[in-house]
């Protein structure tokens, strides 16, 4: 009888089975990676919008109170954009809304834009076409 030596390599069947298994496992892994890449892009866009909004609010807070008060009075209400807004037609345009503000609700109507207090201005900056916005109140002397 002839003695058989140990097999020293892989058969074609073993290689094919390994390739099929790797291919089957690779597809879901690639889909998971695609979701992560897409999520990173969305996060980058959101972070950029947040930075732009914050920068614009900080610029407005640095303006003299009298100028903001004049712009708020000229606007005539909280839903009317002011001259501090960016030029119409720009993608991702920042729109600025200013209004005099009722901080103490002395008129008891629960509307912060009626019966306004001297020395308070409401500031809202919104990225046009998105739901992203920042709001704050500026007090005279600050």
Q: What is the DSSP string of the chain?
A: -PPPPPP-S--HHHHHHHHHHHHHHHHHHHHHHHHHHHHHHHHHHHHHHHHHHHHHHHHHHHS-HHHHHHHHHHH-STTSB-TTSPPTT-TT-EEEEEEE--SS-TT-S--TTSSPPTTEEEEEEEETTSS-EEEEEEETT-
pLDDT at 7: 59
What is the pLDDT at residue 90?
85
Identify the CA nearest to 81 among candidates 64, 100, 98, 57. Answer: 98
- In the prediction, which pLDDT does 10 show? 74
pLDDT tens digits, the chain, 142 residues: what are they?
555 566 567 788 888 999 999 988 888 888 888 888 888 888 888 899 999 999 999 999 999 999 999 999 999 888 899 999 999 888 889 999 999 988 887 788 888 888 777 889 999 999 998 889 999 999 988 6
Tell me the pTM. Answer: 0.70
pLDDT value for 57: 96
| Predicted pLDDT of residue 6 | 62
Domain residue limits, the chain: 12-139
Half-sphere exposure in the Cβ direction for 122 (13 Å, CA): 21
């Amino acid at each position: 009888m002839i003695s058989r030596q140990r097999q020293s390599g892989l058969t074609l069947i073993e290689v094919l089975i390994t390739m099929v298994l790797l291919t089957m496992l690779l597809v879901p892994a690639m889909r998971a990676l695609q979701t992560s890449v897409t999520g990173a892009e969305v996060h980058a866009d959101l972070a950029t919008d947040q930075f732009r909004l914050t920068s614009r609010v900080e610029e407005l807070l640095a303006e003299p109170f009298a100028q903001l008060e004049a712009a708020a009075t000229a606007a005539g209400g909280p839903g009317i954009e002011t001259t501090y807004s960016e030029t119409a037609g720009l993608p991702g345009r920042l729109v600025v809304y200013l209004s005099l503000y009722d901080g103490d609700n002395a008129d008891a109507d629960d509307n912060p834009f009626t019966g306004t207090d001297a020395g308070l201005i409401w500031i809202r900056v919104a990225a046009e076409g998105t739901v992203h916005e920042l709001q704050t109140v500026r007090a005279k002397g600050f």
